Amino acid sequence: MSSQAQTRTRAHQPCAACRMLRRRCDSNCMLAPYFPGDEAEKFFGVHKVFGASNVIRMIQMVDESKKEDAVKAIIYEATSRLRDPVYGSAGTIFHLQRMVEELKMQVESMRAQVVQLQEQRNQLLGILMNVRHLDSTSSVHDSKFDGGNFMLDEDSMAYDPMTFFTENDWTF
């Protein structure tokens, strides 16, 4: 859209600032580029917190290349002040910093749990490997077993259960 077309459109539609202040919006309106007519709620908050003349002064003090960022900051601060009149955006920043610290603590806790679980897994894998190693080295056909029938030698048991109690003078 050419600048003449924008000027004509702006002449027919005043910016949000001029509409709210009920004044004529001309081509050199300082607030028109930042508060278009369809974004009246933004200017309403800014006007309520800072006032129109203060906003114009703040915008005039900023370099041309930084004016858009300054207006965004003004809008954000005004919105924050309306939500939290005491702390404004500083309250939001403090709240976010607290959340970051809590999340850092949660991450550290999760890392500690991961390390602990990895250690447990390694221990269990070690036990499993030892059990498999013992199973592979022991033979099922030992001298005490004969084809699935359990056989006892004279020396296979240290004590005979029938004579153990009488030999050791235990009485019942």
pLDDT per 10-residue tile (average), the chain, 172 residues:
47 80 87 88 92 92 93 94 91 94 97 96 89 66 49 53 54 52
Predicted confidence at residue 8, as pLDDT, reads 42
Which of 49, 97, 95 minimizes the C-alpha distance to 73? 49
Fill in the DSSP letter of residue 155. S
Predicted confidence at residue 39, as pLDDT, reads 86
Q: Which residues contact 44 (CB under 8 A, 6 or more apart)?
A: 16, 20
User: Domain locations in the chain?
Assistant: 3-83, 95-135
Predicted confidence at residue 2, as pLDDT, reads 46
Buried b (16+ CB within 10 A) or exposed e, 32-57: bebbbbeebebbbbbbebbebeebee
Predicted confidence at residue 28, as pLDDT, reads 85
Q: 67-83 vs 89-137: helix axis angle to the nearest 10?
A: 90
- pTM metric for this prediction: 0.55
